[in-house]
Structure 1
Amino acid sequence: QQLAADPRLQQYAPLAAVQGDLLSQLGRAAEAAEAFARAAALTTNVREKALLQARARHPA
């Protein structure tokens, strides 16, 4: 959470994606979906965006 609080990293898609993955592994599906959606919104890579959007729809 300390990294996520750093303003320099708040617009960094890979951090949000990792948060989503960790939250998913912990069984926190709703929070994982939010993190994946945030990562998808932050990335400019079309294939990455599609993958993250799919993970947001099915985080578990």
Structure 2
Amino acid sequence: MFGKSSNNRLKVIYKEKIGALSGCKVLVDKETGVHYLFSWYGEAGGITPLLDKEGKPVINSDDE
């Protein structure tokens, strides 16, 4: 998974820098289609799945 020959499983579909030390990215898992929000401030950060209004994970369909 982390070797030099690994394929990139996550694709960045949105990124935004917020100030000098912080920002966020929306990532899509190419295998499952699940969207994730990654945000950071300085050296701290976190990742969480994006949820729709019903509390279910946002998932790409094959035609998106």
TM-score of the pair, normalised by structure 2: 0.24
Between Structure 1 and Structure 2, the one with more helix by share is 1
Structure with larger RCO (C-alpha < 8 A, sep 6+): 1
**Between Structure 1 and Structure 2, whose CA radius of gyration is higher?**
2
TM-score of the pair, normalised by structure 1: 0.25
